[in-house]
Amino acid sequence: MGAGTYTPDHFRLAKTLADQTVLTIAATRAFERAEKLALTDELTGLYNTRHFYARLDEETSRAVRHARSLVLLLLDADGLKLVNDRFGHQEGDRLLQHVALLLRREARTSDIVARVGGDEFAVIQPETEVAGGRIAAERIRSTLHQEPFATTSGDIPPTSVSIGVSGVPGHATSSADLFRSADGALYESKRAGKDRTTIATAVVPA
């Protein structure tokens, strides 16, 4: 077809095809955004509770089946109530975002980092021994000390994280027991004065 032989119908067809392409791209992006929101916590951008439990089941089953090690860190932002009460919930949200940012930065590519409650976070570490989990936990605590949370007004309230660490195969052979033993260790950290790491000690029966 030579120059000048295009008709208005050709242009209408081209416009229709272009419009359809734009709509398809927009629909794809909307689907990707919805899919991401279904997996992540809106405030922190970390994985949400639902995705965390799914991955915990998956990673625990894999570790048990192939006789591999796995570590779970449960963390509690100790200062959230104080920040909420003294500076307001907006600042409390910023504290959670601060902790989430540090966790994401300290995590390895293979780690699964999630927010699992109001002030609780979790890190699943595949192919990791409990000793390695302890090192990771202490690094997280140290980083928070070095980079403390500051409110928008410049105040630096006392904030820290308490951590419980549990692992497969030493403390559990199921995801439920792994979570329970890590949660128990986290409780001991908080009971002992917060801002510390506790390793689960009792072997949880299968």
What would the two tokens of residue 174 be? 């199921």
Q: Cα–Cα distance between 139 and 135 in angstroms, integer?
A: 6
User: Could you give the CA distance from residue 149 to residue 46 in angstroms, rounded to a whole number?
Assistant: 18
Extended beta strands in the chain, E state? 70-77, 112-115, 120-126, 161-168, 197-199
At 127, phi and psi to the nearest 5?
55, 40
Q: For the chain, first and last CA: distance in Å?
A: 75
Please say whether the beta carbons of 77 and 46 come within 8 A.
no
9 is catalytic: no
Q: Which of 119, 177, 183, 195 is catalytic?
A: 119
> Rounded CA gap, 162 and 188, in Å?
9
Neighbours of 94 (CB within 10 A): 18
What's the Cα-to-Cα distance from 135 to each of 32, 73, 164, 171, rounded to whole Å? 36, 11, 12, 18
For the annotated catalytic residues, the residue numbers are 119
